[in-house]
Amino acid sequence: MDLDAITEYSALHPKPSGLILQYGTAGFRTKAEHLDHVMFRMGLLAVLRSKQTKSTIGVMVTASHNPEEDNGVKLVDPLGEMLAPSWEEHATCLANAEEQDMPRVLMDISVKAAVNLQQDAFIVIGRDTRPTSEKLSQSVIDGVTVLEGQFHDYGLVTTPQLHYMVYCRNTSGQYGEATLEGYYQKLSKAFMELTKKTLCSEDEYRSLKVDCANGIGALKLKEMEHYVSQGLSVQLFNDGTKGKLNHLCGADFVKSHQKPPQGMEMKSNERCCSFDGDADRIVYHYLDVDGHFHLIDGDKIATLISSFLKELLLEIGESLNIGVVQTAYANGSSTRYLEEVMKVPVYCTKTGVKHLHHKAQEFDIGVYFEANGHGTVLFSKAAETKIRQLTKELEDERRKAAAKMLENVIDLFNQAAGDAISDMLVIEAILMLKDLSIQQWDALYMDLPNRQLKVKVADRQVISTTDAERQVVTPPGLQEAINDLVKKYKLSRAFVRPSGTEDVVRVYAEADSQENADSLARAVSLAVF
Ligand code: NG1
Ligand code: ZN
């Protein structure tokens, strides 16, 4: 390691003294102007991680659904998954080291993590459409170069596209080709195969309105459009040509305000969806004939997908186990429907996709979605091999066709990360195949009215939780206070937890009516103070 060169380059990306940042649930995220040194240092860290794992590592510059003025960075581990927890700690140490200490901290990490500095390193870099992203990704590249890592800059890509590239490169191209063309080809081939014999050919089923949050999703959907245009016609709104990123639109806005996005013309009963700013989340929505807004969130997406997969398995006659993974934010009605009506086992993990992803890996088929629309389906290697084998071996035509369908579903899901484009294509295919309208899908179960609030407190870390964040441990007395409030309402549930991405405590409540959910959420917020 050339410490002089590191010191010299680091001086071009100086750390504002005293600034402390945390590698949180989604990496580092804050105002873009505070991030230059973090980007440079994450370039350095990615090289160490790549040397240690002898694999390609990804660096994505994005702040997802956060305001346009923010930015962020996260590292992507070899199989496209989130950075390992011990390296999150290294990331935090490195980002917070004062200028003069940084080279030493870097050395310490490489010793602690037993990094062989002679090993080659390869980094892939991607960024979203924020005005600050290009310059910040250049700072990442500076960090990579000073440690003599090789790199490929994919430029503008969605977060899940970068995860896909990392996964492809570390599986010798078996998963797919590590190019955008490879990504579009793989997904569109699976989608077209799946939908070529669909029941319905009416235009109504083939057209979908997409709110792109004025983000990267718009650019990438435009690139992809012609690959799938025979099966699906997408009409893009909030494509970034006029509005501001994530402002009054996008999946996060729609989910948290339970309102239609601005900038989208919605007629009654038209099928619409919203991506978030880096296109790893998706929610669906529509207006009914009375003009009422209906949100179809990650929970209902998980339900649609798992019921489709269960039926396919039944048809194939193969007993692979399916598990659905949710967080405490999952609507109580969805959990009840999955367990009691669909009879699939449901598990609850802490918030943050890495926890859900990890749990979903325990099943032959692991379906995971956060209520906010971030999720995917994972197939174990054994299950995938079995299904591919069945498509060749089965003689019964119906069973064979079902196995082929499942094979295409495997190819259509992004196995590395939740992906709005891939999820959208899966959902569209299922709706076409089942001849389901958005209203019929919505009617699977009725969401319990719910409310999410944010509370600003002096130190959010005084709140600690257990039981997948559903119970408060500290401060003492708070859980009892919540229990007493919950008892006052019917069909009610409430919990609080410190956010991993914002300096707030989040409050969630559900109850038998919107008024009651609102009132419970407000009462719990007051108990938090
Ligand atoms: P925090 O800020 O920890 O609640 C939010 C989302 C998570 C996840 C992360 C990363 C909610 C309630 N929380 O985390 O689900 O998506 O951001 O983007 O939606
Ligand atoms: Zn996102």
DSSP designation for 343: -
Which pLDDT score is estimated for 200? Answer: 56
CATH number at residue 479: 3.30.310.50
Atom of ligand 1 nearest to the CA of 497: 4
CA–CA dist 403, 409 (Å, integer): 10
Which pLDDT score is estimated for 203? Answer: 59
Kindly report the average pLDDT of the chain as a whole number: 96
Q: How many domains does the structure of the chain reveal?
A: 2
Relative orientation angle of helices 102-112 and 3-10, to the nearest 10 degrees: 130
Which pLDDT score is estimated for 126? Answer: 98
CA–CA dist 35, 440 (Å, integer): 46
Q: What string of H, E and C letters represents the secondary structure of 46-95? A: HHHHHHHHCCEEEEEECCCCCCCCEEEEEEECCCCCECCHHHHHHHHHHH
Span 418-445, average pLDDT: 96
DSSP designation for 418: -
Asked if the structure places residue 14 within a domain, the reply is: yes
Atom of ligand 1 nearest to the CA of 452: 12
Ligand 2 centroid–CA 64 distance in Å is 4
Asked if the structure places residue 64 within a domain, the reply is: yes
Asked if the structure places residue 246 within a domain, the reply is: no
CA distances from 442 to 22, 206, 331, 431, 438 (A): 39, 18, 14, 12, 6
Ligand 1 centroid–CA 462 distance in Å is 19
Residue 455: which domain range? 450-528
Atom of ligand 1 nearest to the CA of 370: 15
What's the alpha-carbon Rg for the chain, to the nearest Å?
23
Asked if the structure places residue 257 within a domain, the reply is: no
Ligand 2 centroid–CA 79 distance in Å is 19
Reduced to 3 states, what is the DSSP secondary structure of residue 212? coil
Q: Does residue 62 have its Cβ closer than 6 Å to ligand 1? A: no
Asked if the structure places residue 496 within a domain, the reply is: yes
pLDDT in tens, 37-90: 999 999 999 999 999 999 999 999 999 999 999 999 999 999 999 999 999 999
* 340 CB-near residues (< 8 Å, 6+ apart): none
Q: Does residue 30 have its Cβ closer than 6 Å to ligand 1? A: no
Asked if the structure places residue 41 within a domain, the reply is: yes
Reduced to 3 states, what is the DSSP secondary structure of residue 196? coil
Ligand 1 binding pocket mutation candidate from 22, 499, 502, 507 (most atoms within 8 A of CB):
499
pLDDT in tens, 119-159: 999 999 999 999 999 999 999 999 999 999 999 999 999 99
CB atoms within 10 A of CB 320: 18
Which pLDDT score is estimated for 70? Answer: 97
**Residue finishing a domain among 135, 156, 177:** 156
Which pLDDT score is estimated for 503? Answer: 86
pLDDT in tens, 90-113: 999 999 999 999 999 999 999 999
Q: The tokens 């979903």 sit on which residue?
A: 360
Ligand 2 centroid–CA 273 distance in Å is 15
**Residue finishing a domain among 156, 188, 210:** 156
β-strand 28-31 against 70-76: which pairing, if any?
antiparallel
Which pLDDT score is estimated for 321? Answer: 95
pLDDT in tens, 7-17: 999 999 999 98
Which pLDDT score is estimated for 482? Answer: 98
Overall pTM surpassing 0.90 (yes/no): yes
Burial zone of 241 (CB within 10 Å; 0-12 exposed, 13-18 middle, 19+ buried): exposed
pLDDT in tens, 247-281: 999 999 999 999 999 999 999 999 999 999 999 99
Ligand 1 binding pocket mutation candidate from 372, 461, 502 (most atoms within 8 A of CB):
372
Q: Is the pLDDT of residue 436 over 80?
A: yes
Query: By alpha-carbon position, which residue is closest to atom 19 of ligand 1?
Result: 372
Asked if the structure places residue 485 within a domain, the reply is: yes
pLDDT band at 320 (very low <50, low <70, confident <90, very high): very high
What number is the ipTM of this complex?
0.98
Q: List helix spans (H) across 133-249.
A: 133-146, 159-170, 180-195, 203-206, 216-228
pLDDT in tens, 173-226: 899 999 999 999 999 999 999 998 775 556 556 899 999 999 999 999 999 999
Query: By alpha-carbon position, which residue is closest to atom 16 of ligand 1?
Result: 352
CA–CA dist 377, 391 (Å, integer): 20
CATH number at residue 11: 3.40.120.10
**Residue finishing a domain among 114, 141, 156:** 156
Which pLDDT score is estimated for 410? Answer: 98
Question: Which residues are annotated as catalytic?
Answer: 64
Ligand 1 binding pocket mutation candidate from 253, 281, 453, 501 (most atoms within 8 A of CB):
501
Atom of ligand 1 nearest to the CA of 256: 19
Which pLDDT score is estimated for 230? Answer: 87
Q: Is the pLDDT of residue 1 over 80?
A: yes
Asked if the structure places residue 188 within a domain, the reply is: no
pLDDT band at 160 (very low <50, low <70, confident <90, very high): very high
Atom of ligand 1 nearest to the CA of 500: 3
Ligand 2 centroid–CA 251 distance in Å is 9
Reduced to 3 states, what is the DSSP secondary structure of residue 413? coil
pLDDT band at 502 (very low <50, low <70, confident <90, very high): confident
Ligand 2 centroid–CA 280 distance in Å is 5
* 122 CB-near residues (< 8 Å, 6+ apart): 50, 56, 57, 149, 150, 151, 152, 169
Which pLDDT score is estimated for 499? Answer: 93
pLDDT band at 469 (very low <50, low <70, confident <90, very high): very high
Q: Is the pLDDT of residue 312 over 90?
A: yes
Q: Does residue 352 have its Cβ closer than 6 Å to ligand 1? A: yes
Reduced to 3 states, what is the DSSP secondary structure of residue 128? coil
Q: Does residue 506 have its Cβ closer than 6 Å to ligand 1? A: yes
Which pLDDT score is estimated for 449? Answer: 96
Q: Does residue 351 have its Cβ closer than 6 Å to ligand 1? A: yes
